[in-house]
Homo-oligomer: A and B are copies of this chain.
Amino acid sequence: MHAIGIDIGGTKIAGALVDAQGKIVFEERVPSPAGDPEAMVDAVVGLIKRLSENHEVIGAGVAAAGFIDAEQSTIIYAPNISWRNEPFKAKLEAKLDIPVIIENDANAAGWAEYRYGAGRGYKHMIMLTIGTGVGGAVIADSHMLRGGFGIAGELGHLRMVPDGLLCGCGQHGCLESYASGSALLRSAKELAASGDPDGKRLREIEAEAGQMTGLEVYKAILELDPGALRILNELGAWLGQAIGSLVAVLDPEVVVIGGGVSAAGDLLLNPIREAYLAHLPARGYRPELKITAAEFVNDAGVVGAADLVRVAFRDR
């Protein structure tokens, strides 16, 4: 039977009807009414109704950034949408005749990679999603690790540096402050402004574009500009060091790197691998770890959310 996956972003909502092999049958995107919780319910309900027209579906999985409770029902906290303890599952189910589960968006994306992407065939996987922030997902022994309160796998908040950079979570020194797209952009701006010869090309690109955004940094990376590669290397080194700690805790077979910044491919993966090997506890006494790029580009959230509906109803 088919299932529906929904991925709520800050600017748009993606929805898809997904078959039992993880293939998208039909897909639709609508604008995200991020500031308006009631309009959000209506937008998601409308999308689910249209996607399920003329199809028998097992249920809908809805992915969103934020803390979701262990019952996959309530959005406890969403950083980018005005939700606090939002009983989103109940609100959706009141207007639908199919069951709904709510899932963290990084978890949904990680599940898609585990089932149908770069983590296929493994039982123990972690995924780091390098976007505006750093998201995480942990698959342990073929199960999504959700934790006691539903908020495990927040790998961007592993603390890397005592009294380090301030993070959006209120703490200091979190991985996210060193290894996110935002951190890369900050480093690019700093390097461009520093007068360092390595910042020359970034300075030019910034001047041409009128401002520095992720696109400008990515352009300099693709040009193999030494300054852009230097800051990408630094970002990769933080990720590799974090993976060293995560391996001590979770011992995965494979680490999948996704998110916008992962488009840099081996230019990002190689410094991650080098730093990981340099920071692995008891190196030589465990098999080497596979560190690889995500296979899904845009659809991991909807495919993962749809598949997790199957898991939820198989488990119940």
Contact = CB atoms under 8 A, between A and B. Distances in A.
Interface of A: 67, 76-77, 122-124, 136, 138, 140-141, 143, 145-162, 167, 169-171, 174, 241, 244-246, 248-253, 279-283, 285-287
A148 B251 contact: yes
Given A159-B244, A244-B159, A279-B171, A249 B154 contact: yes
A151 B249 contact: no
B157 A281 contact: yes
A143 B145 contact: no
Contacts of A285: 67, 76-77
Nearest to A143: B141
B169 A253 contact: no
Contact of A282 (B124, B169, B253, B281): B169
A147 B282 contact: no
A161 B163 CA distance: 10
A149 B280 CA distance: 14
A124 B148 contact: yes
A307 B167 CA distance: 42
Nearest to A244: B159
B155 A248 contact: yes
7 contacts: A140-B152, A145-B250, A146-B251, A149-B253, A152-B251, A153-B249, A171-B279
A162 B240 CA distance: 12
Give the most central of A77, A145, A279, A281: most B CB within 10 Å. Answer: A281
Contact of A281 (B141, B150, B153, B169): B169
Contacts of A280: 171
The residue in A143, A146, A245 that gathers the most chain B C-beta atoms within 10 A of its C-beta is A245
A309 B124 CA distance: 23
Nearest to A160: B162
Nearest to A282: B169
A311 B302 CA distance: 36
| The 8 A-B residue pairs with the shortest CB-CB distance in the complex, in nearest-first order | A147-B251, A148-B253, A152-B251, A124-B148, A157-B281, A157-B248, A169-B281, A77-B285
Contacts of A77: 282, 285
B249 A250 contact: yes
A230 to B, nearest CB: 18
A86 to B, nearest CB: 13
